[in-house]
Amino acid sequence: MLRRRTAPPSAHPAGPSDQPRTDPADDPRAVRLRERAAFALGDIASNLTWTTISSYLLFFYTDVALISAATAGTVMFAARLLDAFFDPLVGVLLDRTHTRRGRARPYLLFGLRCCPASRC
């Protein structure tokens, strides 16, 4: 079990006048309710878009491509599993990349060059 290290009591004298009390709203790192609501609305819009596309994709698989619903669902589930596996790996890769052009730009430029070659 990990324990939190604390300084000895003598290092932090207890007293009401030793440290001024600050209001949490004065903290520049605090996210205000209006900002949280704005982020939530943006996330709702994004999820609504992706849910609509996913629903249409399932309709396309079953009614146009004539794939069974079980197979289409399995394909979509497998894609989500692969996404859940590779997203953290790519995140670690990007976090460890330090170039003069940035973290993600080298991979984007490399992918841009490989994209036309994959269409042949």
Instruction: Write out the residue range of the structural domain in which residue 82 sits.
Output: 69-114
Could you give the CA distance from residue 33 to residue 40 in angstroms, rounded to a whole number?
10
Domains of the chain: total = 2
Domain annotation covers residue 93: yes
The answer on 59 and 80 residing in a single domain is no
CA angle 46, 48, 53 (to 5 degrees): 100
Domain annotation covers residue 8: no
The answer on 108 and 79 residing in a single domain is yes
> Closest Cα partner for 65 from 75, 74, 57?
57
Q: pLDDT tens-digit profile of 37-88?
A: 998 998 998 899 988 998 899 899 999 999 999 999 999 999 999 999 999 9
Domain annotation covers residue 58: yes
Residue 109 banded pLDDT, cuts 50, 70, 90 = confident
* Tokens describing residue 6: 């604390």
* Tokens describing residue 55: 């629903």
Domain annotation covers residue 82: yes
Q: Does the pLDDT of residue 26 top 80, yes or no?
A: no
Q: Does the pLDDT of residue 21 top 70, yes or no?
A: no
Could you give the CA distance from residue 93 to residue 80 in angstroms, rounded to a whole number?
20
CB 97 within 8 A of CB 106: yes
Domain annotation covers residue 22: no
The answer on 95 and 78 residing in a single domain is yes
